[in-house]
Amino acid sequence: MVKMDVNLGGLRMPTPVATASGTFGYGTEYVGLVDYAKLGAVTAKGIRLDPWPGNPMPRHAEVVGGLVNAIGLQGTGVEAFLSKTLPAYRTVSKVPLIANIWGGSVEEYAAVAARLGDRVEAIEMNVSCPNVKAGGHTFGQDPNVLFEVVAAVRKATARPLLVKLAPNVPSIVPYVKACEDAGADALSLINTIPAMVIDIERRVPVLANRTGGLSGRGVHPVAVKLVYDAHRATKLPILAMGGVYEAKDAIELLLAGATAVAVGTATFTDPGVVAAVHDGIVAYCERHGFASVSDLTGNLQG
């Protein structure tokens, strides 16, 4: 019997396998298709204070080895989330829920977190969205801005606080430090990589938003590198995601330094990935004589 539960900065996960925000709706959509008994946490789709319509269509383009999306954070506002979406989730699942939040200003982030109170098991901040007040740069782009927004949310919530970082940085270390200094409990790595697909026959970007974010199989080696770098720079636990399609991918991320992993894009093609990843981790631990999955975290030789 491998001990599969992990502690992700105060969030008790029964297994180290979560779903990634934006790829699992609000947690009810895959009921009957995904084995919830194998899940350690569900991360809900991003919400802000008010409902948000998202981008025009088309919102996605398939590329070899992945997906480029510009959904544009369509989502229910926090009130509808608390009154409808969340209760609906609780009726179908006992799995801890991580709310993924975003906003156009530091104040909005804090307000959403405060409003959620203790109704969710943890809060994940998506800082890869434009800071409306600061001229459109994303919050996650500048370590100082990142510190500010994380510190504000930290004050607004007592729940375990995860910060989800963007992969397109020269070094992840200053961002990790900013999160640490601002009182985050854990890191989520990685968000999608900025990308673009052009329809050469019509000579237009395929996505209505022109650019989007790359996820899926192809980003996996990039995720492993960033988790490795982040883990060496901090004691904060890491929820790792990016191209997890099979147990091997998840185990790489754990060995690189993650405490838990999330499955995202892979579920679209195969809802069975969550269970296969879970079972594959158990089998790996048994085969290699690890009593607990947390023994894998950062456990590289030499």
Ligand X SMILES: Cc1cc2nc3c(=O)[nH]c(=O)nc-3n(C[C@H](O)[C@H](O)[C@H](O)COP(=O)(O)OP(=O)(O)OC[C@H]3O[C@@H](n4cnc5c(N)ncnc54)[C@H](O)[C@@H]3O)c2cc1C
Ligand Y SMILES: Cc1cc2nc3c(=O)[nH]c(=O)nc-3n(C[C@H](O)[C@H](O)[C@H](O)COP(=O)(O)O)c2cc1C
Question: Would you tell me which residues interact with ligand X (CB under 6 A)?
Answer: 58, 60-61
Q: Which does 46 bind (CB under 5 to 8 A by kind): ligand Y, its own copies, ligand X, none?
A: ligand Y
Q: Mark the segment that binds its own copies (CB under 8 A) among 12-20, 28-36, 113-121, 162-170.
A: 162-170
What is the rounded CA–CA span in Å between residue 118 and residue 94?
A: 15
Residues 58-77 that bind its own copies (CB under 8 A): 63-66, 68
Question: With respect to its own copies, which residue has the nearer C-beta, 11 or 214?
Answer: 214
Q: In sequence order, what E strands does the chain have?
A: 6-8, 11-13, 17-19, 42-43, 60-63, 66-69, 97-101, 122-126, 161-164, 186-189, 193-196, 198-199, 204-205, 211-215, 238-241, 260-263
Sites of contact with ligand Y (CB under 6 A):
20-23, 45-46, 67, 69, 71, 73, 100, 126, 164, 191-192, 215-216, 219, 241-244, 263-266
What is the number of other CB atoms lying within 10 angstroms of the CB of residue 5? 14
Residue carrying the six token digits 């829920």 = 97
Check binding of 134 to its own copies (CB under 8 A): no
What does each C-alpha distance from 177 to 131, 144, 158, 255 come to in angstroms?
Answer: 20, 10, 20, 21
The only residue of 159, 220, 231, 278 in contact with its own copies, by rule CB under 8 A: 220
Q: In the complex, what is the shortest distance from the CB of residue 253 to ligand Y, in angstroms, rounded to a whole number?
A: 10
Residue type, 99: A
What does each C-alpha distance from 91 to 32, 87, 143 come to in angstroms?
Answer: 14, 6, 39
Q: In the complex, what is the shortest distance from the CB of residue 265 to its own copies, in angstroms, rounded to a whole number?
A: 13
Check binding of 56 to its own copies (CB under 8 A): no
Residue carrying the six token digits 């009182």 = 183
Q: In the complex, what is the shortest distance from the CB of residue 58 to ligand X, in angstroms, rounded to a whole number?
A: 3
The answer to whether 101 and 119 have CB atoms below 8 angstroms apart is no
The active-site residue, picked from 129, 146, 274, 285, is 129
Q: Which does 19 bind (CB under 5 to 8 A by kind): its own copies, ligand Y, ligand X, none?
A: none
Q: How far apart are the first and last CA of the chain?
A: 28
Largest CA distance in the chain: 57
Binding mask 179-218 for its own copies (x = CB under 8 A): --------------xxxxxx-x-xxxx----xx--x--xx
Q: Which does 242 bind (CB under 5 to 8 A by kind): its own copies, another protein, ligand Y, none?
A: ligand Y
Check binding of 244 to its own copies (CB under 8 A): no
Q: In sequence order, what E strands does 160-271 have?
A: 161-164, 186-189, 193-196, 198-199, 204-205, 211-215, 238-241, 260-263
Check binding of 57 to its own copies (CB under 8 A): no
- 285 flagged as catalytic: no
What positions carry a catalytic annotation?
A: 129
- Contact residues toward its own copies (CB under 8 A) are 63-66, 68, 137-138, 140-142, 166-171, 193-198, 200, 202-205, 210-211, 214, 217-222, 224-226, 228, 248, 251-252, 255-256, 284, 299-302
